[in-house]
């Protein structure tokens, strides 16, 4: 009834334009590498790679080439390596067109919460604080609800805010939403999803 993690990644890849420099956060965003074949998109990894490729085939792993999630990865022709200071200078200098990040909550104002201080789940915001401010466009990719059934699209974030008014588009397992200052606009709904629940519908203003 809803998009799988890989289908969400494929839908996020469709938001990208050839020629862009794009940073992929950990989690679902890393799956996007498998949906960019033959695309002229340069992937940036905050641990020091420009020209990140997809996952290696079994037996071809190189322990010295990893993505931001500490998974073995590959590189593409023309790739380069650099230290963390240079990587974040690229981010803070506005040289990354798009950042695609995982999230725990996104508010109607585009506020991003990607970590929690409960010590049990995500223990820090990582590079998302810089990426969500430095990138020209921020796309959040996440499941629509928590394991406990709570909506992740909210009026106000109850978790620590990583960046305010940063997210412009949200892709969940039920659809694509654009942030419009004080509400979400449903742009696309996943095939097979019959209707939105009333709790979310109250935060939508279709057609705007």
For residue 63, give both structure tokens.
Answer: 């322990």
Backbone angles phi, psi at 50, to 5 degrees: -115, 115
Identify which of 145, 159, 143 has the alpha carbon closest to the alpha carbon of residue 27: 143
Beta carbons of 181 and 203 less than 8 angstroms apart:
no
How far is C-alpha 4 from the geometric centre of its chain's CA atoms? 15
Q: What is the CA radius of gyration of the chain?
A: 17
Strands 49-52 and 42-45: antiparallel
Question: Given phi > 0 = left and psi -120 to 50 = alpha, else beta, which region is 78?
Answer: left
HSE at residue 184, side-chain half, CA atoms within 13 A, is: 29
Following CA atoms 105, 111, 112, 115 in sequence, which dihedral angle do they give, to the nearest 10 degrees? Answer: -70
Distance CA 196, CA 206 (A): 12
46 is catalytic: yes
In what helix (H) or strand (E) does residue 200 lie, and over which residues does it extend? helix 198-201
Among the listed residues 15, 46, 61, 181, the single catalytic one is: 46
Catalytic (active-site) positions: 46
């Amino acid at each position: 009834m809803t998009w799988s993690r890989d289908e969400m990644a494929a839908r996020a890849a469709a938001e990208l334009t050839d020629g862009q420099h794009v940073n992929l956060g950990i989690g679902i965003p890393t799956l996007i590498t498998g949906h960019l074949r033959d695309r002229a998109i340069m992937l940036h990894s905050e641990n020091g790679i420009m020209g990140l490729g997809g996952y290696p085939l079994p037996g071809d792993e190189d322990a010295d080439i990893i993505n931001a999630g500490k998974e073995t990865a590959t590189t593409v022709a023309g790739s380069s390596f650099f230290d963390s200071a240079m990587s974040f200078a690229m981010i803070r200098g506005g040289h990354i067109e798009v950042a695609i990040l995982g999230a725990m909550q996104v508010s109607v104002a585009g506020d991003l919460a990607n970590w929690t201080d409960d010590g049990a789940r995500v223990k820090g915001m990582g590079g998302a604080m810089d990426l969500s401010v430095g990138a020209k466009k921020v796309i959040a990719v996440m499941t629509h609800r928590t394991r406990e059934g709570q909506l992740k699209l909210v009026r106000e974030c109850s978790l620590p805010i990583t960046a305010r008014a940063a997210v412009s588009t949200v892709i969940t397992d039920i659809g694509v939403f654009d942030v419009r200052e004080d509400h979400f606009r449903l742009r696309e709904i996943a095939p097979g999803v019959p209707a939105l629940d009333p709790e979310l519908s109250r935060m939508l203003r279709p057609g705007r």
